[in-house]
Chain A
Amino acid sequence: MTPIPFSYSLRNIWTRRLTTALTAGGIAMVIFVFTAVLMLAYGLEKTLVATGSDDNAIVIRKGSQSEMMSLIDRNAANVIRNQPEVATGSDGKPLAAAEAVVLISMAKQGNSQPAHVQARGIEPESLTMRPQVKLTAGRLFRPGTSEIIVGASAARRFEGLGLGQTVRFAMRDWTVVGRFEAGGSGFESEIWLDSEQLLQAFRRPVFSSVTVRLADRSAFDPLEDRLEGDPRFNLEVKREKVFYADQSAMMAGFIRVLGIFVTVIFSVGAMIGAMITMYAAVANRTMEIGTLRALGFPRRSILIAFLIESLLLSAIGGSAGLVMASLLQNMTVSTTNFTTFSEIAFRFALSPVIALESITFALMMGFLGGFLPAFRAARQNIVNSLRAV
């Protein structure tokens, strides 16, 4: 079989610049939205997955989906701390932290409606177990005082969280003494303070969760079995990574279902655009096709040449859409995660898989849009098409 040179398809695309631009433009817009949706969902997942560590386990009350809803009393917290699977720190104390998490409604920068920020009461071990947390300005709060440190994202988005400023909640004025980053994880959207101070201020007798460092990763199963089987308490043990990743499930699922549903529907519009263009291309070149056939190119070569033209069209559109979407990567989005009810900041994140999916999707649109016109071109009768004016 003699293939029609690739440059034939390429030149045809170049000759009809306006039509090419409009058709590829339609495809580009579809791919832009498709990629952006996947990047958004992936960005949220990435942020929450990065929040947890494989080395840590978190204990919450059974049935609580978030720390905010969970309650763990001091007695249970002590039992958890002293489990044999819990690693020991350099000072000989168990590497475990009982934390208290509450939601605080605060004014957002440039927005009249307040949003919820998560405030986490921590213990010294909390920092040891989360090495990704680094102070970038100021200092750590002194235990036993009304001082707080704020995550970089929270500081950017909420009013009154600059160094030296004070925030009022629970009848106290809290002074911001430090700002921290946490490797782009969900912690950056939080306010951290002394666990005991938080409990006192809110007159609250119980913690929200206990996070422990496992002596080694295989220690998780025996720890889970023992604590969940303990009839005195009603506990649930999860790997920290799984726990935080689960918090992204609902939101990421929502973004994906909504986004893909809509994109797939309106991609049909762009696909039809490609089909119209290709039908016109075939109709305008009837004589040319006849000539090609007369020169000895078989039907299959004609089919392939037109399919390549359509695929090229969609590849141009797809790449343009992908490039546009990749520009979103530096953009930070913040939204309330309905699983935790608090604001979380994350970035659009592009992965090779997403890029591949987008280009595949674009090529699929080109293939489906171009197949029927190419088929019509290949089926043409030599004599009739040469006779056409």
Chain B
Amino acid sequence: MQLLHLVFRNLFRHKLRTVLTVLGIAIAILSFGMIRTVIAMWYSGIEASSPNRLITRNAISLIFPLPIAYRNAITAVPGVTDLSYAQWFGGIYIDEKHSQFPQIAVDGSTWFKVAPENQISDAELTAFMRERNAAIVGVQLARRFGWKVGDTVRMRSMIYSGDWDFVIRGIYTGAKKTTDETLFFFHWEYLDQKLRQLEPWRAGHVGWYVVKIADPDRAAAISQAIDARFKNSLAETRTETEESFIQGFISMSDAILIALRIVSIVIIGVILAVLSNTMAMTARERLSEYAVLKTLGFRTRHLILLIAGESVLIALAGGLIGIGLIGPTVSGFDAVMTSTIGAMFPIVGVSIATRSVSLLMALGVGLAAAIFPAWRAATLRIVNGLRRIG
């Protein structure tokens, strides 16, 4: 107890130095937590995926579509309970900068059955089904552009020619925190009918099928059964669970994720350097004091506790302040991203895991920074310490 008192007294001996060190650590922990949050946002899609869903797409690559005729064959595969399909639209709203939100042409009658996490009222769904160019948008997307039900949205597309008009007939909300609320759904029928007139050879195709299965344990067997059905056809399929489908997207940015992880380690190195420096300076200044304490009967472990306690307290104080700042900073970063290159992440939030890891890192740095000064104090010979000046 008395030792703790001494630790506190020591902390306030060089107020400016302590405050600066705490601040430095707070800022470094803040950037560490920010990077962890950005990495977590990348993986947010996986958390949102359902084990009951498989995705069937063209085996060559995502840009190749599948014939709509596959619908019946896939439904006939044992174990499949529901089926829907979708096509990427690649829309440009206002201009390239504003159009960073996904537009997906879906089969209206089945989509919200296989993707129930997109919650929509029955009335809005009925209104959506009645109109050919109706659209349902995520609540966050609607907020971003100030859209209301009944608004008309005109878009061009990077993939299809012409102007496309949509009328918003519904706004969905996510069932879970991880549900993406920035999507724009419209009728695949609308897309297909327009293609029949403009580019007939591209009509009658879908981008991917979403297959709902009753038993997630049979996912592998059902995937194989579907793919075997279309083997050696012009459009061979590749079926996988929704999770591994999303994982495939994430692995595309492997290099960036690795770079971010390296940077987060470097940051820990920076705080370690700052805190080690403070502790080393402190220990150097107090060597004669340690000798006095030893003479008074303090044991080596007391000195170690004294130094480690000070170091850990500084690190934890910095860590806690930094963690508190992660939330606001991430929102700021998201705003900068949205205004410079368009929205990047559907879900912005700081997880408990990120906070805990950041705190653990601060604790670790606090302990590591105490090692050298503690060792010096422990091995100090009283005579040498007392003989020393300044």
Using a CB–CB cutoff of 8 Å, the interface residues on chain A facing chain B are 18-19, 22-23, 25-26, 29-30, 32-33, 36, 40, 61-66, 68-69, 71, 102-105, 111, 113-116, 169-171, 202-203, 205, 234, 250, 253-255, 257-259, 261-262, 265-266, 268-270, 272-273, 275-277, 279-280, 284, 333-336, 338, 341, 343
Q: A30-B270, A114-B248, A257-B341 are in contact. Are A280 and B61 (CB under 8 A)?
A: no
Of all chain A residues, which has the CB nearest B23?
A272
- Evaluate contact between A277 and B277: CB separation under 8 angstroms: yes
User: With a CB–CB cut-off of 8 A, which chain A residues contact B360?
Assistant: none
- Evaluate contact between A335 and B17: CB separation under 8 angstroms: no
A34 CA to B17 CA in the complex, in Å? 26
Q: A262-B263, A269-B25, A269-B270 are in contact. List 16 more A-B contacts (CB 8 A).
A: A26-B274, A30-B270, A36-B259, A65-B96, A69-B159, A105-B61, A113-B248, A169-B60, A250-B342, A258-B260, A269-B24, A269-B28, A270-B24, A273-B270, A279-B20, A335-B255
Using a CB–CB cutoff of 8 Å, the interface residues on chain B facing chain A are 16-17, 20-21, 23-25, 27-28, 30-32, 34-35, 38, 59-64, 90, 92, 96, 156-159, 161, 199, 201, 232, 234, 238, 247-248, 251-256, 259-260, 263, 266-267, 269-271, 273-274, 276-278, 280-281, 329, 333, 336-337, 340-342, 344, 390
- Evaluate contact between A333 and B271: CB separation under 8 angstroms: no
Of all chain A residues, which has the CB nearest B58?
A105
Please give the distance in Å from A237's CB to the nearest CB on chain B: 17
- Evaluate contact between A63 and B158: CB separation under 8 angstroms: yes
The one of B27, B158, B281 that contacts A19, using a Cβ cutoff of 8 Å:
B281
A106 CA to B159 CA in the complex, in Å? 23
- Evaluate contact between A276 and B25: CB separation under 8 angstroms: no
The one of B161, B252, B277 that contacts A335, using a Cβ cutoff of 8 Å:
B252
- Evaluate contact between A257 and B273: CB separation under 8 angstroms: no
A-B contact pairs, 15 of them (CB 8 A): A19-B277, A22-B277, A30-B270, A63-B158, A114-B248, A262-B34, A262-B263, A265-B329, A268-B24, A269-B24, A272-B274, A273-B24, A273-B277, A279-B16, A335-B253
Closest 4 CB pairs of A and B: A336-B252, A272-B24, A113-B251, A26-B273
Please give the distance in Å from A40's CB to the nearest CB on chain B: 7
A114 CA to B60 CA in the complex, in Å? 11
- Evaluate contact between A266 and B277: CB separation under 8 angstroms: no
User: With a CB–CB cut-off of 8 A, which chain B residues contact A113?
Assistant: 247-248, 251
The one of A63, A259, A265 that contacts B27, using a Cβ cutoff of 8 Å:
A265
Please give the distance in Å from B32's CB to the nearest CB on chain A: 8
A68 CA to B390 CA in the complex, in Å? 72
The one of A36, A63, A66, A169 that contacts B92, using a Cβ cutoff of 8 Å:
A63
- Evaluate contact between B266 and A103: CB separation under 8 angstroms: no
- Evaluate contact between B274 and A33: CB separation under 8 angstroms: no
Of all chain A residues, which has the CB nearest B162?
A234
User: With a CB–CB cut-off of 8 A, which chain A residues contact B16?
Assistant: 279
Q: A63-B157, A205-B201, A341-B63 are in contact. Are A272 and B21 (CB under 8 A)?
A: yes
Of all chain A residues, which has the CB nearest B30?
A265
- Evaluate contact between B96 and A268: CB separation under 8 angstroms: no
User: With a CB–CB cut-off of 8 A, which chain A residues contact B333?
Assistant: 258, 261
User: With a CB–CB cut-off of 8 A, which chain B residues contact A29?
Assistant: 266-267, 269-270, 273
- Evaluate contact between B61 and A22: CB separation under 8 angstroms: no
Please give the distance in Å from B97's CB to the nearest CB on chain A: 10
Of all chain B residues, which has the CB nearest A273?
B274
User: With a CB–CB cut-off of 8 A, which chain B residues contact A343?
Assistant: 252
Please give the distance in Å from B120's CB to the nearest CB on chain A: 29
Residue among B27, B161, B270, B278 facing the most chain A CB atoms (10 A cut-off): B270
User: With a CB–CB cut-off of 8 A, which chain A residues contact B28?
Assistant: 266, 269
Please give the distance in Å from A343's CB to the nearest CB on chain B: 8
Of all chain A residues, which has the CB nearest B279?
A22
A116 CA to B64 CA in the complex, in Å? 12
- Evaluate contact between B266 and A257: CB separation under 8 angstroms: no
A270 CA to B275 CA in the complex, in Å? 10
Q: A29-B273, A262-B31, A270-B270 are in contact. Are A102 and B64 (CB under 8 A)?
A: yes
Please give the distance in Å from A108's CB to the nearest CB on chain B: 9
- Evaluate contact between A103 and B253: CB separation under 8 angstroms: no
- Evaluate contact between A111 and B251: CB separation under 8 angstroms: yes
A258 CA to B35 CA in the complex, in Å? 9
- Evaluate contact between A276 and B27: CB separation under 8 angstroms: no
User: With a CB–CB cut-off of 8 A, which chain A residues contact B30?
Assistant: 265-266
A113 CA to B252 CA in the complex, in Å? 9
User: With a CB–CB cut-off of 8 A, which chain A residues contact B63?
Assistant: 68, 102-103, 341
Please give the distance in Å from B20's CB to the nearest CB on chain A: 5
User: With a CB–CB cut-off of 8 A, which chain B residues contact A203?
Assistant: 234
Of all chain A residues, which has the CB nearest B17?
A276
User: With a CB–CB cut-off of 8 A, which chain A residues contact B256?
Assistant: 255, 335
User: With a CB–CB cut-off of 8 A, which chain B residues contact A23?
Assistant: 273, 277
Residue among B28, B234, B333 facing the most chain A CB atoms (10 A cut-off): B28
A26 CA to B21 CA in the complex, in Å? 13
The one of B238, B259, B273, B344 that contacts A22, using a Cβ cutoff of 8 Å:
B273
User: With a CB–CB cut-off of 8 A, which chain B residues contact A254?
Assistant: 337, 341, 344
- Evaluate contact between A102 and B21: CB separation under 8 angstroms: no
User: With a CB–CB cut-off of 8 A, which chain B residues contact A69?
Assistant: 90, 158-159
Please give the distance in Å from A122's CB to the nearest CB on chain B: 19
User: With a CB–CB cut-off of 8 A, which chain B residues contact A61?
Assistant: 161
- Evaluate contact between B232 and A269: CB separation under 8 angstroms: no
Please give the distance in Å from A302's CB to the nearest CB on chain B: 19
A22 CA to B25 CA in the complex, in Å? 15
User: With a CB–CB cut-off of 8 A, which chain B residues contact A341?
Assistant: 62-63
User: With a CB–CB cut-off of 8 A, which chain A residues contact B271?
Assistant: 269
Q: A335-B253, A335-B255 are in contact. Are A257 and B270 (CB under 8 A)?
A: no
Please give the distance in Å from A256's CB to the nearest CB on chain B: 9
Q: A234-B161, A270-B270 are in contact. Are A257 and B336 (CB under 8 A)?
A: yes
The one of A18, A33, A40, A205 that contacts B280, using a Cβ cutoff of 8 Å:
A18
Of all chain B residues, which has the CB nearest A266?
B31
